[in-house]
Amino acid sequence: MALSTAKAFYIPGVAPQTFTRGEEVPLKVNTLTSTKTQIPRDYYRLPFCQPEGGPTMASENLGEFLTGNKIQSSPYSIHMLTEMYCAKLCQVELSKIQSAKLLLHIKYGYHNNWIIDNLPSAAVGVDVEGKVRKRYAGGFPLGFMSSDTKKPYIYNHVNIEIDYHPYEAGYRVVGFAVEPLSVAHEFQGGYVWDGSSAEGMAKPLDTCSTTRHMTRNDIMNSQIVTPGSKIIYTYDVTWIESDVEWSSR
C-alpha cells in the first residue's frame, strides 16, 4: 500500500467528543464501495455479524448526514483505553447464496468503510517490498483472490488501532486504523461451535491469543470462502497515546 499523508477534514455539525476511561467508543459501518464497479452496497447485504437486535441507522450529526451514505451501527464493542485480543463476534456458516455474494464482492474489490468518532479508518497493509504501510483513503478490502488458485479468501480478523490524546478529564480519538487479516480459526481441543451457544463464545481459539496482538506471522491458514465454510469473526483493539490534538487530526 502506498503511504498517504491525507488528513480528516472538518465538516459542519462535528464537535470534539471527550471520552472517559472505559466509556463506549462506537464503531459505525458505512456503505461498501469499489473502484471497479462504482456501485455502493449496503454493508449488511453480506454475511457479517450484526448487533444484537439488528443494525440501526447511526448518522448522529449533520456532518455524517451530509455525506449521503448509509451509516449503521456495528456489533464491535470498543471502550476507551480497554485493550482487547482475539475477541469473538460471531460465527457464520455460509450458504451457497452467501458464498456467491462474498465471492463477487471480493472479486470486484469491494472495501469496508468504518468510522469512529467521525474519522474514517485508515488501512494497514503490506506493500510490494514487504513493508507495513498505512493508506488513508478508500477503506480496507473485504478479502482477496489467491494469485495462484484464484480462490476467494475473507478478512475475518481485524486489528483495530486507535490513537488517543489526553484532554482535561478524559481522552479524544485522534486516529483510527484497521489491519485486516484472514484466519481459518479453530478451537482448542477440536471443539465445534454451532454458532449460537454461549459456550462457544467462551471457548478459547487455538488460532489467536487472548493476551497479545495478532500478527501476520501467527496465521497458519487463511479463511477460504466456500459454501459450508464456518467463518468466525474476531478482532483486537489497541490504544496508542498521541501528541496530535483533535483540531489537527
For the chain, the distance separating the N- and C-terminal CA atoms, rounded to the nearest angstrom, is 21
Sheet order of strands, 27-29 included: 72-73, 27-29, 114-116, 119-120
Residue 218 lies in a domain: yes
Does this model's pTM top 0.85? My answer is: yes
Residue 120 lies in a domain: yes
Nearest Cα to Cα of residue 141 among 164, 171, 111: 111
Residue 184 lies in a domain: yes
Q: Say whether pLDDT at 221 is over 70.
A: yes
What average pLDDT does this structure show over 160-183? 97
- DSSP annotation of 109: T
C-alpha cell at 192: 465445534
Residue 74 lies in a domain: yes
State the total domains in the chain: 1
Mean of the per-residue pLDDT values of the chain: 91
What is the greatest pairwise CA distance in the chain?
54
Distance of CA 243 to the CA centre of its chain: 25
Residue 66 lies in a domain: yes
What average pLDDT does this structure show over 182-196? 96
Residue 17 lies in a domain: no
pLDDT at 131 (0 to 100): 86
Angle at 182 between CA 160 and CA 192, to 5 degrees: 105
> Range with the lowest mean pLDDT among 37-51, 55-69, 185-199, 218-232?
55-69
- pLDDT, tens digit, 9 for 90 and up, residues 114-150: 999 999 999 999 888 888 899 988 999 999 999 899 9
Q: How far apart are CA 110 and CA 88, in angstroms?
A: 23
Structural domain boundaries, residue 132: 27-248
Helix (H) or strand (E) holding 112: strand 111-112
Residue 22 lies in a domain: no
Residue 128 lies in a domain: yes
Amino acid (1-letter code) at residue 237: V
Amino acid (1-letter code) at residue 113: N
